[in-house]
Structure 1
Amino acid sequence: MDVVLLAGGLGTRLSEQTEVRPKPMVEIGGRPILWHIMKLYAQHDFKDFWIALGYKGSMIKQYFLNYYQLGGDLSIDLKDGNVEIARPQTEDWRVHLIDTGLHTNTGGRLEKLFDRMPGDTFMLTYGDGVANVDLTALLDFHKNNDALVTLTAVRPTARFGSLDFDGDLITRFSEKSQVREGWINGGYMVMDRGVSEYFNGPDTNLEKGILEKLAADGKLAVFKHDGFWQCMDTQREVSLLNEMWLEGDPPWKVWHD
């Protein structure tokens, strides 16, 4: 099963980090968030990745080019330059790193990958959000409906705590709880090849140019995820995710070391 990761945006809302690196390379617990997302897919045995590159894409290429060598201990013979790698950290993934243009829109990036992917169905997500979505159940759900795309809907954690009142008394205090109403696009989609009917060149926007039109045509299904989901749009959210990782057992870590 092919997995498309959109990793080419400018990440302007996280400029403190993205001035020097692409957003998917911002680290959680010493690893790029892109790695965390890929580990989730790999846990469900989805290991053929197509990464749509754009802004500072060379940094993502360098990361994977050096992944094997830098994942273990090195012994270097300075006389002849021979290098021995002990305990290399390897993943049984195949990673396709495709330049899709600096200013190409999200739907346009997908279009540039389309003819290179062999399958009739593929998965897609953004490079800036972690979750514990049951991706196997998501794929099964998609196979059992007639939609061209199935989108995972999530209810995000509120930015601030919420209060319920009875007169001058607070009857319920909830610190930054999950939003009780309202679903949003959490990414983590499954798509069929027929989605290509909605492509319209490099300026095509995935959300407005494809998903909105699919919904209007009755071809967009929803998979509701009540579990953990967190995007990484601000420095505050970077810090939050790192705190969760350091505390141990972060909710999106469904794989075993």
Structure 2
Amino acid sequence: MKVGILAGGLGARLAEETETKPKPMVEVGGRPILWHIMMHYRAFGHKDFVIALGYKSEYIKKYMIDYCQLNSSLRVDMANGAVHVTDGFKSDWCVDLVDTGRDTQTGGRIKQLIPHMGNETFMLTWGDGVSNIDLHALLHFHRSHGKLATLTAVRPPARFGHLEMDGDHVVEFSEKVQTKEGWINGAFFVLEPGVEDYIDGHDTQWEKEPLERLASDGQLLAYRHHDFWQCMDNLRDKRRLDSLWQAGNPPWKTWEG
């Protein structure tokens, strides 16, 4: 099963970082957040990726081309320029990099990815959020209902400190998941190729008409994820993720090593 990742947006709310690189290449713990996302999928056996590129696409292309070599020992034959990996890291990822246009909306990017998905069920996510979601359970839920689309519903992390009060006394202060608030779209999807019929063109935002129509047609269900989820919308989010990584055992690290 292939995994689509949308990695072409401008990332304007993280302009401190995205002026020189695409948002999925902003680093958390010294690695692009895109790497963290792909490692999570690989931990559940998914190694075939189709990445939708747009803004500063050359940055992601270069990273993927250089990835194995920069993480391995090399032998360079100066006579003919051949480079051989001799030892160290080797990945079994297979990555299709699809230029979907700098200004294309999310729906338009998905529509361009679908022909690369082998006319079968596929997973999809954004290139700026991490989670410890059980992808096996997500896929089982999707297959159990037989509809076109499953999204993952999550509780957003609190933006401000949550207070429990007893009169004027603060009895609890925390920045936890907002368990008393509503669910939001966590952007870990399982989709059938038929969702293409709900996307008009490049200017279509997936989060608007396509999801609205899928819902009204009874073709969209939500898998509830009760554990860790965090998107990287701004510098505050990046710093939080960096802090969790540096503290050791970050909650989204589902892989070994």
TM-score range for the pair, normalised by the shorter chain length: over 0.9
Shift in alpha-carbon separation, 1:197–1:80, aligned structure 2, 3 A? closer
Where do 1:90-129 residues align within 5 Å? 90-129=90-129
Q: CA deviation at 1:89?
A: 1.6
State the partner residue of 2:135: 135
For 1:84 and 1:237, locate their aligned partners in 2 and report how far apart those are by CA, in whole Å. 39
SS at match of 1:190: strand
Shift in alpha-carbon separation, 1:103–1:82, aligned structure 2, 3 A? closer
Shift in alpha-carbon separation, 1:77–1:92, aligned structure 2, 3 A? closer
For 1:92 and 1:206, locate their aligned partners in 2 and report how far apart those are by CA, in whole Å. 30
Q: Tell me the percent identity.
A: 52
State the partner residue of 2:190: 190
Q: CA deviation at 1:209?
A: 2.2
State the partner residue of 2:240: 240
1:39-94 CA-partner distances (Å, limit 9, x unpaired): 11111111110000000011100001111211113455667756554433221111
Report if aligned partners of 1:52, 1:100 keep a CA contact under 8 Å in 2.
yes
State the partner residue of 1:176: 175
SS at match of 1:177: coil
1:84-124 CA-partner distances (Å, limit 9, x unpaired): 54433221111000000010000001111222321321000
Whether 2:138 is the aligned partner of 1:146: answer: no
Report if aligned partners of 1:49, 1:93 keep a CA contact under 8 Å in 2.
yes
Shift in alpha-carbon separation, 1:219–1:88, aligned structure 2, 3 A? same
1:129-177 CA-partner distances (Å, limit 9, x unpaired): 000000010000000013211000111210111112232233x313211
State the partner residue of 1:45: 45
Unaligned runs of 5+ in 2: none
Cα root mean square deviation, aligned: 1.6
User: What's the TM-score, normalizing by structure 1?
Assistant: 0.95
For 1:254 and 1:109, locate their aligned partners in 2 and report how far apart those are by CA, in whole Å. 28
1:167-224 CA-partner distances (Å, limit 9, x unpaired): 2233x31321110221111111000111111010111111002112111221110000
State the partner residue of 2:67: 67
Which deviates further from its counterpart, 135-144 or 232-241? 232-241
Report if aligned partners of 2:51, 2:98 keep a CA contact under 8 Å in 1.
yes
Structure 1: which amino acid aligns with 2:37?
I
For 2:192 and 2:15, locate their aligned partners in 1 and report how far apart those are by CA, in whole Å. 34
User: What's the TM-score, normalizing by structure 2?
Assistant: 0.95
Shift in alpha-carbon separation, 1:77–1:118, aligned structure 2, 3 A? closer
For 2:127 and 2:216, locate their aligned partners in 1 and report how far apart those are by CA, in whole Å. 27
Shift in alpha-carbon separation, 1:77–1:50, aligned structure 2, 3 A? closer
Over 4 Å off, 4+ runs: 75-84
Shift in alpha-carbon separation, 1:85–1:47, aligned structure 2, 3 A? closer
State the partner residue of 1:223: 223
Structure 2: which amino acid aligns with 1:120?
E
Q: How many residues align?
A: 256
SS at match of 2:46: coil
